[in-house]
Structure 1
Amino acid sequence: AVQPAPQEAISLNFPWVKETAPLILIIEDDIQTIELLTLLLTQAGYKVAHARDGEEAIEKTRNLKPFAITLDILLPKKDGWEVLQELKSDPLTSDIPVIIHSIVDNKELAFALGAADYLLKPLHKEELISKLEEISTAKGRKILPLSILIIEAEEELTNYLKDIFEPQGFYIYTGTTGKRGIELATAIRPAVILLDFTLPDMLSYDVIKEIKENPSTRDIPIFILTERDLSVDDRLNLVGKIERIVKKYSFDTKELISHIKELEILYPKRAGLIDELTGVFSHRYFQIRLAQEVERATRYKLPLNLLLIDLDYFDQYVKKHGVYYGNLTLKKVADLIRKNIRGSDVVVRYGGDSFAIILPNTIVSAALSMANRFNAIIKNYPFMFLDSQVQGHITASIGLTFLDGQTTEELILCAEKALAKAFQKGGDRVEVYSKEHEEKEKILQQ
């Protein structure tokens, strides 16, 4: 008989669970735990599939190739230890991170067999989501785009706003009443709320009050949408509770989008601009901030330098010692860099095992000195399992470039070329981008 194709994921109508969302395979035989994990993971934006015993777990892992796995130990047919050992010994599944979630406490065995992390029942939601986000960040997953909640009774204006924001890459959620708006704000915790001043079911003041009194939503910036100028009393009542008052249909589209983008800088964590694993700024923040610094340096004729730091052969380190120790190393590298920069400097996680540092108002010689210092700090720090690395240390290749009339994208490309040159020369070094050297190399290659 022909076997039916395995179910790829449970279908749930959460608006934030997209087709591109990472798939988590829950390997668990307890119905209540399955339901709880499914609810928590889908609410956090993941797709979910299930396996109820050890044999089904191995088969579904091979067929579905999930992004990550949560694994119970007490399973029928094959227990969790057998499943983990089989998955980690199979080249097709060995790289899939596994989080043990069980009442059985044996972390040493779990890590020895290749588990990415170990959580004891009963389930702690924040801890599980945190572990999955660490794995997601380590694998270089993108942060979800900025989301906007529009609480507006008038469909025409809602569609008008959607036409403005959706082409800019924003996720849009809508509610036509105050009550629905409050429910959505609590459920999805958007980055920004656009609120109609005149709602059919509630006073806008009451909506704002409920949002601001809820610890999970009180930090969300609110824009008031109104057809008329507000009175002095209205404005006084809104002081400190909203971000801005916007007149319907008469606002400058570019200005509003620009202001919301500025909020990403003001509220970096809410906007997904903080890298959850390392605690430094994310690549999305880097794109915004570097463009601002390039514009400022060009306008005021100030020096600007950019450093790219990439850990040498780090993929081999993670493959040999696992995601858990790889994440510990990345956290420590971020911490070392952060402790050795000035207040005006900006450090971001540029990629899976790379960091970028924006050095405003810094001359090249000073930037080079800082780059050499970062190189020495990383090389001399006693990370775990140093002897397994090619050079007997965790080392870094560093590319440095300075602003000399380039666009933001060109500046990044120059830094990447310098970084590639440092790695090609064996790593553990700093290379400064030189346009003259690049042109000479092009001539030699012809």
Structure 2
Amino acid sequence: MHLLRSRKATRHIPLVLLGGDAESPSFSLGTVDTMDKQVTKNDLVNLITRHGRQSPHAPGMTVLVIDDEASVREYIRECLRGQGYRLLLAANGRDGIQAAIEHDPDLIILDLMMPGLSGFKVVEELKRHPTACDIPVVIFSAKDLTREEVMRLGQEVEKVLTKGTTGRADLLRELRSMELLYPVQARLMDSVLRCYNLRYRQLRLTQECNRAERYGQTFSLVGWQMEAYDAYVKKYGQHWGVAALREIVELVNSVTREGDVLVRSSEASFMLILTGTTQTVAERVAEKLRLRIRIHKFPLAGGEVGNFTASFGCVQFGMGAFTPEDLVAQLNARVAFALKSGGDRCVCGDEGG
């Protein structure tokens, strides 16, 4: 248990003790449940499904900063304070490589001009390592790169930022962009359904609103709530409830474009971010999904099938909502109105708020 909690890859995984006693002080390392060795098959499946779905949200990206200047390390620490990042610091290239291999960070911020082992050498050694080679690297340096140095770095780094001209807001913006490029490493994926989670929704909506205001573009949101999901789980078990949600994800992927973004908003509600799409088009997408869900046969044990209906809403940026918070509030109001007015319908106008 100590080893599991000490490793990045396993520290956030729920632990269920087989035949253990949850009251014992020796089991204080993040245990979330206990299970009798005589557990039935159904109870076992439900327990695993429950903890797979309700496991605590992992923290944001782990960022390793490799820089020989203490003032720069402290500057980056202050920039990232309170932003949800876990920070690792290394004062030279050799220690940085060791930290990258041992801790497997999600992103490396690297200085180029360091005594002993330069940033160029650090990049070369990292890219030769079987696991560290996949860690994205952002250069943060005061050096003006020559053409030869740019060629030397090639495709091995994601971004080059300049010390002295990159402020806190610039650094945070670049890190947020990196998170969107690497959603798995940044814990922006729902681990059960393999779609995006709420944290990704927040980052992406902010990005889409900024882009829409800057370039005069638009986008729309489609949201929906699976109706009577709790009753479905109570009747058939959590395993089959999660199986139905996975079918929903497959249904959505089959009728949307590659660039559309599916987010799990809560246990049984979802949102689609439709870039470059008007509300009229979004309404057609919502109606198509609503009908697909209504006629779909969700598999159950013994060859039986279950059924669902869903309440939908849709909104467009610029039509009464210009911020992520306004868009989500307007969308939630329309979904709630659809539920309150009988369900299995889509509300996209002012009647839903």
Task: Normalising by structure 2, report the TM-score.
Answer: 0.84
Q: CA deviation at 1:200?
A: 4.4
Q: CA deviation at 1:290?
A: 2.0
* Mean CA deviation greater in 309-318 or 241-250: 241-250
Provide the rounded CA distance (Å) in 2 between the counterparts of 1:381 and 1:145. 36
* Mean CA deviation greater in 291-300 or 374-383: 291-300
Number of the residue aligned with 1:341: 256
Post-superposition Cα deviations, 1:363-397, rounded to whole Å, max 9, x if no partner, equal: 333322221211111122211349xxxxx622212
Q: Counterparts in 2 of 1:133-152, with a 5 A limit? A: 135-136=51-52, 138-139=53-54, 141-152=56-67
Q: CA deviation at 1:58?
A: 6.0
> Closer, same or farther in 2 for the Cα pair 1:250/1:329, shift >3 Å?
same
> Closer, same or farther in 2 for the Cα pair 1:385/1:40, shift >3 Å?
same
Identity %: 27
Q: CA deviation at 1:357?
A: 0.6
**Structure 2: gaps of 5 or more residues:** none
Post-superposition Cα deviations, 1:202-221, rounded to whole Å, max 9, x if no partner, equal: 33333212322234332322
Corresponding residue to 1:362 among 277, 286, 292: 277
Contact 1:273 1:281 in 2 (8 A): yes
> Closer, same or farther in 2 for the Cα pair 1:371/1:287, shift >3 Å?
same
What amino acid is the match of 2:37?
G
Number of the residue aligned with 2:77: 162
* Mean CA deviation greater in 423-432 or 290-299: 290-299
What amino acid is the match of 2:200?
Y
Corresponding residue to 2:104 among 189, 210, 229: 189
3-state SS of paired residue (2:183): coil
Question: Are positions 1:400 and 2:331 aligned together?
Answer: no
> Larger relative CO (CA 8 A, sep 6+): 1 or 2?
2
> Closer, same or farther in 2 for the Cα pair 1:427/1:222, shift >3 Å?
same
> Closer, same or farther in 2 for the Cα pair 1:275/1:180, shift >3 Å?
same
Q: CA deviation at 1:60?
A: 5.2
Q: CA deviation at 1:152?
A: 1.8
Number of the residue aligned with 2:203: 288
Question: Are positions 1:46 and 2:3 aligned together?
Answer: no
What amino acid is the match of 2:128?
E
Contact 2:338 2:352 in 1 (8 A): no
Post-superposition Cα deviations, 1:111-158, rounded to whole Å, max 9, x if no partner, equal: 32343477xxxxxxxxxxxx8xx945x227434212211012222221
Q: CA deviation at 1:66?
A: 6.7
Question: Are positions 1:425 and 2:346 aligned together?
Answer: no
Contact 1:226 1:247 in 2 (8 A): yes
Q: CA deviation at 1:317?
A: 2.7
Contact 1:417 1:433 in 2 (8 A): no
Q: CA deviation at 1:285?
A: 1.9
Provide the rounded CA distance (Å) in 1 between the counterparts of 2:219 and 2:55. 27
> How many matched pairs?
347
> Closer, same or farther in 2 for the Cα pair 1:49/1:327, shift >3 Å?
closer
Number of the residue aligned with 2:43: 113
Contact 1:135 1:323 in 2 (8 A): no
Number of the residue aligned with 1:257: 172
Q: CA deviation at 1:405?
A: 4.0
Provide the rounded CA distance (Å) in 2 between the counterparts of 1:301 and 1:50. 51
Question: Are positions 1:308 and 2:217 aligned together?
Answer: no
> Closer, same or farther in 2 for the Cα pair 1:304/1:188, shift >3 Å?
same
Larger Rg: 1
3-state SS of paired residue (2:133): coil
Q: Counterparts in 2 of 1:347-386, with a 5 A limit? A: 347-385=262-300
Provide the rounded CA distance (Å) in 2 between the counterparts of 1:195 and 1:302. 35
Number of the residue aligned with 1:80: 37
Provide the rounded CA distance (Å) in 2 between the counterparts of 1:221 and 1:352. 32
